[in-house]
A and B are shown apart, each in its own frame.
Chain A
């Protein structure tokens, strides 16, 4: 999909998605209330809810690159219901069944034809155990400059998004610019590990015979220690997870302007921290 997708478009489309079940079930509910209270009105009125819901669903199907012919054709059925209304009880049953169908079609549209949903923002602050890890490493990682810290944000966020090549390039660029000897060595090691493994992930390469790991002097700053009983694979995976967590902690501590981006990836960072 090449079409630009603004936040406003996303918000509007989400509102329309919610409108489909609300309008269709709402119309059926109005029909039920009228029936129960024995209020005689034109049976077309409750059916209007299903009509509007059908057009909303058809619009959502229309704006997608891959057209769902089933969802696009639902207004035809609702117009038929409108043109040939039944008695009150039959109309209510039909409206409920139609509302269920429209809702099911909406779910199908999202799963098989829809654009991915935007990531949900996490809370506005870090939660434990990630928060504890960041606090533990603050004294050392706080000495990092703003620019390397921002590079750490880019490398981490791109990796979290599955953009492994971009993450590797960001890490490579950061290593090239990390000439400032006051920056902790652990940051350079973290960038190097992320670069190596992200490149391999992008090309779907297997674990190499030899690979970069953190030296023993960095051990106190690392979040996890590999369990030796699982062998070299565990060591390889844990090196990556530790590297990503070091970058996250560094970015959080030394680059306050990037907090909003890091919070969006907090769930991923918490997952990395888990055993």
Chain B
């Protein structure tokens, strides 16, 4: 769903929660007359279970869209092998192939992106603009951070991930 220039996505978890509580409400209102009298505020509250995640996704996607040109101005294009702990906080750009995708269903996708020199984890804290799959050749832009908050190997806190060309076909 597009709102302005932002492609808003609701995670499957939010949809599942909405569906579950809708069923609860339907069952409760059938068997309990008291619930029926409260529907006037229960139904709007139910829809907030979808509206709030959508609004949060829209706000975070728009914020990332605003950040993208700032990062583009300062990010250096490097090979994965050159990214190390001393670069924590630096803005970087890498190009590579997506080898693995995790947590896309939570709207907090993580990717393992590899180039000739190595592979690195790319974490994004909002949904992506495009649908990124395994074997897609992508350009990633973001900031180098520790994997676990204050420790762990360096990973990329992704601000932008875009496909560069058609995905490779497996031989």
Contacts and interface: CB of A to CB of B under 8 A. Distances in A.
B77 interface: yes
B150 A117 contact: yes
Interface of B: 76-79, 81-82, 84-90, 92-93, 116-118, 125, 143-146, 149-151, 157
A265 B76 contact: no
Nearest to B153: A267
A14 to B, nearest CB: 7
Contact of B86 (A201, A204, A234, A265): A265
Interface stretch (A52-60, A125-133, A158-166, A208-216): A158-166
A233 B89 CA distance: 28
Contact of A204 (B77, B82, B118): B77
Nearest to A268: B84
**Interface size class for chain A?**
20 to 34
Contacts of B81: 237, 241, 271-272
A234 B81 CA distance: 13
Contacts of B87: 160-162
Contact of A119 (B82, B85, B116, B125): B85
Interface of A: 14, 17, 107, 110-112, 115-117, 119-120, 157, 160-162, 164, 201-202, 204, 230, 233-234, 237, 241, 264-265, 267-268, 271-272
Most buried by B among A112, A162, A272: A162
24 contacts: A107-B149, A111-B125, A116-B88, A116-B89, A116-B143, A116-B145, A117-B88, A119-B85, A119-B86, A119-B88, A120-B151, A157-B86, A160-B84, A161-B90, A201-B82, A202-B76, A233-B116, A234-B116, A237-B117, A265-B84, A268-B86, A271-B84, A271-B118, A272-B81
Nearest to A230: B116
A233 B87 CA distance: 24
A7 B56 CA distance: 36
Nearest to B89: A116
Contacts, number: 66
Contact of A161 (B78, B86, B150, B151): B86
B123 to A, nearest CB: 8
A204 B76 contact: yes
Given A115-B89, A230-B116, A201 B76 contact: yes
A105 to B, nearest CB: 13
Contacts of A110: 149-150
Contacts of B125: 111-112
Nearest to A164: B76
Query: Ordered nearest first, which 10 A-B pairs have the shortest CB separation?
Result: A116-B89, A268-B84, A162-B90, A162-B87, A160-B86, A204-B77, A116-B88, A161-B86, A119-B85, A117-B150
A58 to B, nearest CB: 19
A267 B84 contact: yes
Contacts of A241: 81
A17 to B, nearest CB: 8
Given A14-B150, A201-B82, 19 more contacts: A17-B150, A107-B149, A111-B145, A116-B88, A116-B89, A119-B86, A120-B85, A160-B87, A162-B78, A201-B77, A237-B81, A237-B117, A265-B86, A267-B84, A267-B85, A268-B84, A268-B85, A271-B81, A272-B81
Contacts of A237: 79, 81, 116-117
A17 B150 CA distance: 10
A163 B87 CA distance: 9
Nearest to A240: B82
A224 to B, nearest CB: 12
A157 B86 CA distance: 8
Contacts of B118: 271
Contacts of A111: 125, 145, 149, 157
